[in-house]
Amino acid sequence: MAKLPFSPADMEGAYRFIRNENIDAKDIAEAGFQSTVSRANEHEELLALEDTTTLCFPHRSIKDELGHTNQGDRIRALHVHSTLLFAPQSQTIVGLIEQQRWSRDITKRGQKHQHATRPYEEKESYKWEQASRRVVERLGDKMLDVISVCDREADLFEYLTYKRQHQQRFVVRSMQSRCLEEHAQKLYDYAQALPSVETKELTIPQKGGRKARDVKLDVKYGQVTLKAPANKKSTQAYLFIMLVALSKGHQKTS
């Protein structure tokens, strides 16, 4: 805050606000989420874009209040998982509908071997399902118009099962080639063999040392039943999903 263009009086007021024990950050956030809910009702279709980011704070004064990042002992951080509503038809950012913040316990670093025995609800990966539960609490029936969009970190059998059981729509990028019930092939091999139903062309802009290029994508889809991993005995044995595959065709570098 010291770098912001505030007057001394404004700065003092801001610090008093931050130090006020009667101020609850959750209440402030909830007011923002409810504002997003009111705007969400103006749109017919919504995408719930989810991702996790790491906020690193190098100042030593707050080091003990932050958690580890798996990047060495010197780096401490706060982790934030956000869900942003986006209206694709109007190309409008509706607003933040959910956010979780936490720091990893530095004393538990290096205990990866205990991760498998920990209950799913106590794992950090539960953040995806927890976000969906909180979003549906706020949106109610409007959740029927929402499609959750997540990266490959959300490719969890428990999370996918939750979304299917609650009839929530989702797009999750696959992280692993899972075993299938109705095919001898695994997921990626099966997707590769699917016939193309459409071709999409898009331009990937130049970034860093990578040149701009035009890419053709073959669009494929099919229905598959995923087998539960061997270590997920507490979940249902199979999970029926719709598979959408994009495979790169010819590309031209410019």
- How far CA 120 is from CA of 51, 125, 191, 204, 232, in Å, comes to 19, 8, 29, 38, 10
Mean pLDDT of 133-154: 98
One-letter amino acid for residue 186 of the chain: K
Average pLDDT in the chain: 88
pTM (two decimals): 0.84
- How far CA 195 is from CA of 61, 203, 221, in Å, comes to 58, 23, 8
| pLDDT at residue 239, as a whole number | 83
DSSP designation for 54: E
CB-CB neighbours of 234 under 10 Å: 9
- Residue appearing with tokens 């995806």: 128
pLDDT digits (tens, 9 = 90+) for 56-99: 877 776 777 777 776 666 678 889 999 999 999 999 999 999 99
* Beta-carbon contacts of residue 229 (< 8 Å; ≥ 6 apart): 157, 178
Residue 254 pLDDT level (bands cut at 50, 70, 90): very low
The ranges assigned to domains in the chain are 25-175, 177-254
- Is the confidence at residue 251, as pLDDT, over 90? no
* Beta-carbon contacts of residue 23 (< 8 Å; ≥ 6 apart): 17
Using a pLDDT cut of 90, give the percent of the chain over it: 57
User: For the chain, how many residues are written?
Assistant: 254
Q: Cβ(213)–Cβ(251) under 8 Å?
A: yes
Task: Report the distance separating Cα 119 and Cα 151, nearest Å.
Answer: 23
CATH of domain 25-175: 3.90.350.10
| pLDDT at residue 131, as a whole number | 98
